[in-house]
Structure 1
Amino acid sequence: MSDTEQRGTRTVEWRLSAVTSPRLADPVPVVTAEDIPYITDANRFQNLSVYLPWTPETSALVGTPAESLPGVEPGRPRIQVHVHGGAWRDPRLTARSIEPTVAHAFSGTGRSAPIAAIASLNYTLSRFPTHPALPYDPIKDNHTDPSREAVHPQHVSDFLHGLALLRSFGLTDGSYVLSGHSCGACLSFQSILRPPRHYGLDHLPAAPIPAALIGLNGLYDLPELVTATGLGESHAHLRDDYEMFLSNAFGADQRAWPAASPARFDPAEVAEQVREGNAPRLVVLEQSAEDQLVPTRQRELLTAKLSEVDGLRVVEGNRCTGKHAAPWEQGDMIWESVQDVLRLLQQED
C-alpha cells in the first residue's frame, strides 16, 4: 500500500475546537483534525478524526497538516482508537459520537491526561431501506450513494485501511487501546483477532496490535441474534430487525455468519495470534444489564469462547449501565473503561 493510498487525497489541518458531554457543565477545548480520508477517492465515510488535549504544545499545531500522532510512545498505550456502532447502517451515527468521551478524557489539565490522543474511525455503511428519515436502497436509489452499500468484509477492509493510515501517522504495536461500541465492538474484534486473510483480504497489511481490546455493548455471535435462545424473552421481539440488518451487512446466506462472529473464532487460532504477538493479551468486555437492544448473552458467549484462548486475559467490566446508547451519549462510561484498562495494563508491567 503506497503512502499516497494510505493518506488519501485531501490534506486536513489541525484546528481548535470544543467538545461536550451531558455529564460536564462546560465545553472542553481540544485540537482536532476531522474527516481525514484513509483511502484514495474515499467516500464520505472512509475517514477518521483525531482529537488532542488543548495544551501549549498542541495549540502550536493549529493550521498545520495533520500527518502524525503527537505523544505516541512505542510499547506504551498513549492513544485510544474507537469504532462507533449503529448496526453497520445508521448514517447519523459517526466518528463524532466519541466526542463526549473526548470531553471526559481531556476535561482536566491536558498534560496530565493519561492518553495523548483519541482517534475515531468511520467506515462504509450497509444499506438501510427502512431508515425513518434517511432510507437508502441501492436498487431503488440507482446506486447513488456507495458510502451506504457495504457488505462484509468491506467494513473490515475500511477499518484496516484506517489503522494503516494511523500507522503512517506513528501508531505502533502496543501504543494504543482499541474500543468499539455495539457493531463497532464486533468490527474491532473481527479485525484484530483474525488476520486479513481470514476475510479474503490478503492484499491488506495486518493492523498495528493494540495493547488491549474493549468491547462495549457489543455484537459478537451473529447467528445467535436471530434465534429464540440467543435473544431470550427480553429481546425476542427484535429478531426480525436483527435478521434484516445482519442480512444487509453480511449477506442473506446465514451459513456465512459464523466465520464473521468473534464468539465463534477458533480459540487455538486466536491463541496462536496471541503467542506470536499478533493479538493483544487483554480483553475487557462491558455490557449493560439494562441494554434494550443487545442481550447480555452476547457478552457471555464471547467471554466463554475467549476464556479458552491460552495467554489471553478476559475481564468482564462493570462500567456500562442504562440503555444501549448511553456509553457513547454520555462519554464517562467509555472513558472510565479506558482508565480501567490502563490500570490493568500497568499491573501487568
Structure 2
Amino acid sequence: MKLKEVGEKVLVETARKTFRKGKSIRIGIGDDAAAVDLPGKKCLVVTTDMLVASTHFPAGMKPEQIGIKSVVVNLSDLASMGAEPLGLAFSVALPRELEFGYVKRIMRGMESAAKEYGTYVVGGDLDEAEEITIAGSAFGLADKNKLLRRSGVRKGDILAVTGELGAASAGLKIIMEKIPAKGYGELVKAQLEPKARVMEGMALARSGHVKAAIDVSDGLAANLWHLSRESGVKIIIDREKIPVHRLVKKFSAQYGYDIDEFALYSGEDFELIFATQPRFWESVKSALKRTGTKATPIGMAVEGSGVFIKIGEKIDELEDRGYEHFK
C-alpha cells in the first residue's frame, strides 16, 4: 500500500501507536504540539514543522517571506496550545548553486518574524539538498493546568474562531492561476506573509476558561474534525456565522469560485478555533479584544460524534477534507 492511498492521518495514527509515551509526557503525538512536564507548575511545549520548496513556496515568493513563513508555521502550533515562545531552531537544506545573498535574506526574514513574536532563532543545522527544505522546531512554556488541546472540547461548549477565513487560500489561487492581484493584495500577502496568533493563544489560556484549541492550518472543516474525534463530541456549525474575509467574498463572486473551498476546506489561515462554555463567552471575548483580535462564535458541541453544518434549516455532515500530505 502506497502513502498516497493512506494519507497523512493514517501515518500520524500509526506513529501514536508505535511510539511509547513516557511518564513526564503530558501531551504526546496527535496534538498541535507535545508537552513535557517540568518541575513546578510549568511544562515545555515543543513542535516541529517542515517546509519544502516545491510544496510550500509559491512561485515569486521572496526569500524574506520564506523565512517569515518558516517561523510562523511553527509558532502557530505553540499558539494553539496557549504557550509562550522561548525560541526556535532550524535545520536547513540548500542547493549548492543557491546564491549566498538569497540565503542571507531568508535568515533576515526568520529574524524579523522571531522578533515580531518576542522570541529568538537559537540554532539549527545546515545540509545540502536538491531544493530548499526548512525543518523548524519551536519550544515554549505553558502552565500545566492551562494547556489548550484538541481533546478539551466538552458538550455544551461554544466553538469560535479568531479573525477571518479564506484569505490565504484565495491568495494562493491568485498566485498559482496568475490572476491579476490588483485590489487583492491583502489576500496575496496573507499567503506569503502569514501571521501566528501567539498573543491570542496565550490570552485564551490565561483566561482559564478555554481548554481546547487548534490552529486553522489544514482548513476549518479538517481541523473541526480533529477536535471532534479527539474530544469525543459532535460539533454543529452555522454556515452563516463563519467569518469569511470580505475580499474572499468579492474574489469568489468576480471569478466564479466556490467560496466554501476557501472558507471551509483550504488551510494556512492560521487562525485559532477554540471552545469555551457559554457563561464564559463574554470574559473570553474581552481577553481576546485586549490583543486586538475579534472572535466569532460559529457553533456548538453536543453529545455524539462528527461535524455537521447548518445551512438555513438543513443540517448535513460536513465533509472531512482539507489539505493532507500524500493525498
Higher fraction of strand:
2
- Which TM-score tier does this pair reach, normalised by the shorter chain? under 0.3
TM-score by length of 1: 0.27
Q: TM-score, normalised by structure 2?
A: 0.28
